[in-house]
Structure 1
Amino acid sequence: MGVLSGSPSKTTTAAMGNKSTGMPWRYWLKVHATDPSALLALGLLVVFIYLIAGPVFLLLGDAVQVQFAEQTRTGLAQGTLTTYYFERALFSPVAQDIFWVPLFNTLSVAVGAIVVALLVGAPLGWLLSRTDLPGKRWLSTALIVPYMLPSWTFALAWNTLFKNRTTGGPPSWMESLGFTPPDWLAYGQLPITLILALHYSPFVILLFGNALRQFDAQLEDAARIMGAGPMHVARRIVVPLMLPSLVSACTLIFAKCLGDFGVAYIVGVPVRYDVLATSLFRSISSSQAGMSAVLAGAIVLLGGVSILIDMRLLKEASRFQTIGSKGSMARTAQLGQFAPLATTWAIIVLLVSAIIPLVALALTTVMRMPGIFTLDNLTLDFWIGNNLTTTTALRQGILLTPEFWLATFNTIWIVGTAALGAGFLGLLVGIAVVRSPIRIVATLLRYITFLPYLVPGIAFAAAYLSMFAVPRGPVPALYGTSIILVLAMLADQMPFASRAGISAMMQLGGDPEDAARVVGAGWWRRLVSIVVPIQKGALVSGVLLPFISGIKGLSLVVVLAVPGTDLLTTYAIRLVDYGYTQASNAVVLMVCVIAFVGTLGVQHITKSNLSDGLGSK
């Protein structure tokens, strides 16, 4: 009787639909059958929960569950909840070597790299953006070259120049010239810090330089009119307004240093100078899944905290941001008599950070004994030679070695497939996030595709190893196959690819698709005939930039690749392990050529430039 005399029941209301706040569910299905963005968002969310969130959470779960190898040591059954790995990492007798020393080394290297990068990059950013520096248009592109190349390229160059008898293989140039570099110069914190600082200083040059270009010089003029001195103007006006760019540069460098494996492996491991990345690699290599999870979790935590701090500081700093109006001025300072000195400084940085390392690598590949500059010491054997007597496992030059061409083929098809997948999925994510009527799903999709950005490469690789090393349901074990590399690269590149797709779709109105819908075009037809052609630039960018990143990347693939699925980067590292310096340098040069030419190709195709905003005159 209550139902008859009262208001309709909830069931009846749901069936009829609330006319004031919603629509009948049958009508909703009919409407969205022609525009399945909601279903697309739900489908993509499930896919990326499996490919991104799943491996990360599974890895973190390994840190609190007894693993197969530790059942006897812990006296507990596999899968039992435990704090054993945290206690071993933090408080055991080996904790210093496994965790605390690598953590301290990681933080000291990262902080040192930030300081050096600021000292190198900030003056260059100012010279390129606010002065009449001679040749600044050319320099503004040339000084970005170090970031176009793999960071560990310069570690190999450092080894070529400064290594000593701590490791085997051919002598370094310094040894050939009669000088034996001490360990502190050849290996450890100093070279790692300098290499990473020079490699990532372009972040400071670009971010700080572009911010200076947008700074309105009239603000300085107004302060000077009021009687403020140069130091007061710099401290109270310029520095607060430049803070967002400096914070972003520092955060990026810190996050990159956390997960950088190659540099520390090449010039740190020979003297047992471990960072978290190399300690994690050692744990993975010795099948210590629980310890690997703890170390990877520490790297993820540090990376996530650094990004959150960056977001917080930028939010606070946004109160001080200013964008000049049409009448704003970015006045160019006249260097006058200091122009030669400033140009010399810029050229020295370019020489030290790019030209000298690359020349040293190239010359080493054509020398029987590195550092001996005589005609009879020159050879092309390490490129095209046969029956080499200087090595035992590498009997031919790399261009005649099947393993090199297999690694090249693997690199092209694995990285290419991952990049194509990331670019296309990034566009679909853009459509789903912008067009989906279920906003909570769109928001979750946006955050999950951003998650790999918070997880350094080697930690993400550890997550994939934890996820796919054993069969899980209908999915077989993928470790040792090319599929795991494709999936890991695709997922790792989704932060960029999804942001490119979202940005592109936010700029595309719904009118073209509405017009196509009126004439009867289905969703797929609209996607292929309208969305993809219009968003061709974003799609190309979303494919090519992940391809370049994958070509030169090492931290992500070094854990997942095996000899049969070697890429050029992992093949070069294996040659380093064998002590085949000339051959490894030759492979690295090929990687550098592909990465450099590919980067320039991306800029040409997408009509973009890494140095946009610098040296525009």
Structure 2
Amino acid sequence: MKVLGKLCGGEGVTLAAITFVAIALFVFPLGLLARIGLTEGGALSLGPLSEALSSRSVLRALTHSLVTAFFSSALSLVAGTCIALVLGLTDIRWKGSFAFLLLIPMMIPPHVTAIAWIQAMGPSSPILRTLGLAPELGATHPLYSAGGMIFLLGVQHTPLVFLVVLAALRALPREMSDAARIAGATPLYLLRRILLPLLAPTLIAGFALAFVSALGNFGIQALLGIPARYITLPVLIWQRLASFGPSVLTDVAVIAAVLALVSVGIILAQTTLLARSRARLIGPPQPPLHIALGPLRPWTEAGLVLLIVATLVLPITALVATALVSTYGLPLTAETVTFDNFTEILFRQSATARAFLNSTLTAGAAALLIALGCIFLARFMTSPRRPARRLATGLATLAEMTYAIPGLVISIAFILAFIKPLPLIEVSLYNTLGIIFLAYLCAFFAIALKPVSAAYVQLDPALDEAARIAGAPFLMRMRRIFLPLIAPAAASGAILVFLTAYNEVTVSALLWSTGNETIGTTIYNYEDGGYTTLAAAMSSVTVLATIVLMVLLDRLGRRAPPGVIPWRI
């Protein structure tokens, strides 16, 4: 309150409103979850957690989660770092196109990725059957195993590591690298003795990001783990909540608290390691290195093309091929091709039409409101007033921590917070689109904050000072000065939020109800219910929409500050 008291007029009211919303969305639901998982009889206690971990099924699921998250993150770290080094340091051609195509798997929802790979590699794959390469019918699917889950989680999160390492390469000053090259250092020596040590903090951050993302991933773990009987914590939470019972919500909340504590522990460990390993660099960032590959350049470009074919073209082709046959398992030929599945999900099935509408409304509203909130919060993060800046930075840190918490944990927290009718108005948000919308605000706020805060840092403080001297109030300064300058970055952040929320299944898996389906839950239910061709058709439409939105974001990025659009190199 002291901080808000030092601000006058619209500035203080706006910061107070942002703080209230942050407490309502970030602190209150997760606080209820913490109260159930970390208290007993009203006092702080580890009893509920100990009791949960004494269960063999919970302990086994936790072990499975840690194993798959660790090894898939190691795979993502190696692959993502290698790709970033090639695109960020060498003279290969078409860097922007390569980066755009390599990032598409990250934008495609994990459950769609799982469905695409299942249909690409299994005995009923229309592509493999057409080519005569499919395994025998009845053979065990190669992805229905712990190794298959690790592989697919590694593929899904490789772009995350790629983005983190690429951003760090852009920020590295060149003095030491140039001095080493003048002294005759080979590219491999330069990489081993200078670049990788400087990138150590970034590699730690990339591994932690991939680990937390893999830990909370529901779509891949459910679609691969359930057939393989390799149950992880997110899947166990979903199964327990679906079983109902008098104490199921409390039991599930304790398991969710275990998952949240592991995620927060990883983030805290990352922060500690970063503090110890951070290298102090002198001088401003300069253009990145441009190592000439010589005769290796065509081979390197061919390797990237093969990687894109293997991780993007093959699974999407299999997905579309499955959508174009009447029965799953038929080869794709002129006699078997049909568009009935697309007609069914677009024009006949009311659930799919509802899902497209619900996802568009909730994701669109969340994206717009988050972008607006980020414009004001990021402004306070660069405020000349230290108290306001510190409070806004604390709220941003809270949003970052919330983003690191798995989506299923967010779902459980919001069920606890809103299962009862709201005070005064006596209206319950449970089993409505409203609770999904609020969960989106909590889960995805940090996505839009990064590009907006990066854009604010590049603005000249004299703009605000001149407007203050001229007597312009806070809201006028925001409307006439900052909003036009920040709009491209805010729009980019809004599109990123929309892309993430439009296709997600992790947050809404426990929050949806009949009449309030989302695209992600509808696709998952089709696949889980055995309607594979309909799931493939709806997934194909979703992939197309994702690519269209990415192209739109790319066009918009021409006006945005450098670094706002991830794949623009």
Asked whether the two chains share a fold, i.e. TM above 0.5, the reply is: yes
Which residue does the alignment assign to 1:401?
Answer: 349
Matched, 1:125 2:73: no
Out of 390, 395, 417, which is 1:467 matched to? 417
Which residue does the alignment assign to 1:450?
Answer: 400
Which residue does the alignment assign to 2:293?
Answer: 334
Q: 1:561 to 1:615 in 2, by over 3 A?
A: closer
Which residue does the alignment assign to 2:24?
Answer: 50
Tell me, in whole angstroms, the C-alpha distance in 2 between the residues paired with 1:505 and 1:463: 32
Which residue does the alignment assign to 1:353?
Answer: 311
Q: 1:103 to 1:589 in 2, by over 3 A?
A: same
Tell me, in whole angstroms, the C-alpha distance in 2 between the residues paired with 1:526 and 1:612: 26
Tell me, in whole angstroms, the C-alpha distance in 2 between the residues paired with 1:447 and 1:51: 14
Instruction: Check the 8 A contact 2:127/2:321 in 1, yes or no.
Output: no
Q: 1:450 to 1:239 in 2, by over 3 A?
A: closer
Q: 1:354 to 1:437 in 2, by over 3 A?
A: same
Range with greater deviation from structure 2 (363-372 or 435-444):
435-444
Tell me, in whole angstroms, the C-alpha distance in 2 between the residues paired with 1:398 and 1:294: 40
Matched, 1:144 2:103: yes
SS at match of 1:564: coil
Shift of 1:498: 3.8
Please tell me the residue identity of whatever aligns with 2:204: V
Tell me, in whole angstroms, the C-alpha distance in 2 between the residues paired with 1:611 and 1:81: 43
Shift of 1:472: 4.8
Tell me, in whole angstroms, the C-alpha distance in 1 between the residues paired with 2:99 and 2:184: 35
Range with greater deviation from structure 2 (580-589 or 438-447):
438-447
SS at match of 1:555: coil
Tell me, in whole angstroms, the C-alpha distance in 2 between the residues paired with 1:552 and 1:284: 22
Q: 1:339 to 1:516 in 2, by over 3 A?
A: closer
Q: 1:496 to 1:138 in 2, by over 3 A?
A: closer
Instruction: Check the 8 A contact 1:501/1:538 in 2, yes or no.
Output: yes
Range with greater deviation from structure 2 (491-500 or 291-300):
491-500
The number of residues matched between the two structures is: 556
Matched, 1:187 2:144: yes
Matched, 1:111 2:78: no
Which residue does the alignment assign to 1:413?
Answer: 361
Identity of aligned residues (%): 23
Q: 1:144 to 1:312 in 2, by over 3 A?
A: same
Which residue does the alignment assign to 1:493?
Answer: 444
Instruction: Check the 8 A contact 2:553/2:565 in 1, yes or no.
Output: no
Tell me, in whole angstroms, the C-alpha distance in 2 between the residues paired with 1:376 and 1:433: 61
Which residue does the alignment assign to 1:167?
Answer: none
Q: 1:82 to 1:515 in 2, by over 3 A?
A: closer
Please tell me the residue identity of whatever aligns with 1:580: Y
Tell me, in whole angstroms, the C-alpha distance in 2 between the residues paired with 1:610 and 1:141: 14
Tell me, in whole angstroms, the C-alpha distance in 2 between the residues paired with 1:569 and 1:325: 41
Please list, as runs of the form range in 1=range in 2, the aligned pairs for 1:526-565 lying within 5 A after superposition. Answer: 526-565=477-516
Which residue does the alignment assign to 2:545?
Answer: 594
Which residue does the alignment assign to 1:86?
Answer: 49
Q: 1:569 to 1:431 in 2, by over 3 A?
A: same
1:63-112: CA deviation from partner (whole Å, max 9, x where unpaired): 2568xxxxxxxxx9xx8998664344222xxx221x22211211221122
Shift of 1:565: 0.9
Please tell me the residue identity of whatever aligns with 2:419: A
Shift of 1:524: 3.6
Tell me, in whole angstroms, the C-alpha distance in 1 between the residues paired with 2:437 and 2:408: 15
Instruction: Check the 8 A contact 2:169/2:288 in 1, yes or no.
Output: no
Which residue does the alignment assign to 2:434?
Answer: 483
Tell me, in whole angstroms, the C-alpha distance in 2 between the residues paired with 1:610 and 1:582: 39
Please tell me the residue identity of whatever aligns with 1:400: R
SS at match of 1:563: coil
Matched, 1:383 2:334: no
Tell me, in whole angstroms, the C-alpha distance in 2 between the residues paired with 1:324 and 1:479: 51
Which residue does the alignment assign to 1:423?
Answer: 371
SS at match of 2:279: helix
1:276-327: CA deviation from partner (whole Å, max 9, x where unpaired): 111121222234222222222222222222222323333333325466776x
Q: 1:402 to 1:142 in 2, by over 3 A?
A: same
Tell me, in whole angstroms, the C-alpha distance in 1 between the residues paired with 2:567 and 2:527: 38
Tell me, in whole angstroms, the C-alpha distance in 2 between the residues paired with 1:194 and 1:230: 30
Instruction: Check the 8 A contact 2:61/2:232 in 1, yes or no.
Output: yes
Q: 1:181 to 1:141 in 2, by over 3 A?
A: farther
Tell me, in whole angstroms, the C-alpha distance in 1 between the residues paired with 2:474 and 2:563: 36
Tell me, in whole angstroms, the C-alpha distance in 1 between the residues paired with 2:370 and 2:566: 28
Tell me, in whole angstroms, the C-alpha distance in 1 between the residues paired with 2:493 and 2:408: 22
SS at match of 1:179: coil
Please list, as runs of the form range in 1=range in 2, the aligned pairs for 1:153-302 lying within 5 A after superposition. Answer: 153-163=112-122, 177=134, 179-180=136-137, 182-183=139-140, 185-212=142-169, 219=176, 222-223=179-180, 234-287=191-244, 288-302=248-262
Please tell me the residue identity of whatever aligns with 2:53: L
Tell me, in whole angstroms, the C-alpha distance in 2 between the residues paired with 1:178 and 1:506: 55
1:457-501: CA deviation from partner (whole Å, max 9, x where unpaired): 111111111111122533632111111111111122222334444
Matched, 1:343 2:297: no
Range with greater deviation from structure 2 (592-601 or 135-144):
135-144
Shift of 1:48: 1.2
Out of 530, 539, 543, which is 1:579 matched to? 530
Please tell me the residue identity of whatever aligns with 1:404: T
Shift of 1:421: 1.0
Which residue does the alignment assign to 1:368?
Answer: 326
Shift of 1:187: 0.7
Tell me, in whole angstroms, the C-alpha distance in 1 between the residues paired with 2:46 and 2:143: 39
Tell me, in whole angstroms, the C-alpha distance in 2 between the residues paired with 1:213 and 1:515: 33
Q: 1:432 to 1:174 in 2, by over 3 A?
A: same
Which residue does the alignment assign to 1:14?
Answer: none
Please tell me the residue identity of whatever aligns with 1:297: A
Instruction: Check the 8 A contact 1:114/1:253 in 2, yes or no.
Output: yes
SS at match of 1:574: helix
SS at match of 1:565: coil
Q: Which has the larger radius of gyration?
A: 1
Tell me, in whole angstroms, the C-alpha distance in 2 between the residues paired with 1:211 and 1:399: 47
Q: 1:63 to 1:301 in 2, by over 3 A?
A: closer
Range with greater deviation from structure 2 (467-476 or 104-113):
467-476
1:395-450: CA deviation from partner (whole Å, max 9, x where unpaired): x4543322221111111111111111111111222344444664464444333333
Range with greater deviation from structure 2 (172-181 or 133-142):
172-181
Range with greater deviation from structure 2 (178-187 or 217-226):
217-226
Instruction: Check the 8 A contact 1:433/1:445 in 2, yes or no.
Output: no
SS at match of 2:429: coil
TM, length-normalised to structure 1: 0.80
Structure 1 residues not aligned, in runs of 5+ = 1-21, 67-75, 165-169, 385-395
Shift of 1:182: 4.7
SS at match of 2:507: coil
Tell me, in whole angstroms, the C-alpha distance in 2 between the residues paired with 1:610 and 1:379: 43
Structure 2 residues not aligned, in runs of 5+ = none
Shift of 1:214: 5.8
Please tell me the residue identity of whatever aligns with 1:90: L
TM, length-normalised to structure 2: 0.87
Q: 1:533 to 1:576 in 2, by over 3 A?
A: same
Range with greater deviation from structure 2 (405-414 or 208-217):
208-217
Q: 1:192 to 1:131 in 2, by over 3 A?
A: same
Tell me, in whole angstroms, the C-alpha distance in 2 between the residues paired with 1:331 and 1:367: 47
Please tell me the residue identity of whatever aligns with 2:547: F
Tell me, in whole angstroms, the C-alpha distance in 2 between the residues paired with 1:340 and 1:517: 56
Tell me, in whole angstroms, the C-alpha distance in 1 between the residues paired with 2:174 and 2:394: 42
Please tell me the residue identity of whatever aligns with 1:107: L
Range with greater deviation from structure 2 (430-439 or 295-304):
430-439
Q: 1:487 to 1:612 in 2, by over 3 A?
A: closer
Which residue does the alignment assign to 2:15?
Answer: 41
Tell me, in whole angstroms, the C-alpha distance in 2 between the residues paired with 1:520 and 1:340: 60
SS at match of 2:509: coil
Range with greater deviation from structure 2 (219-228 or 44-53):
219-228
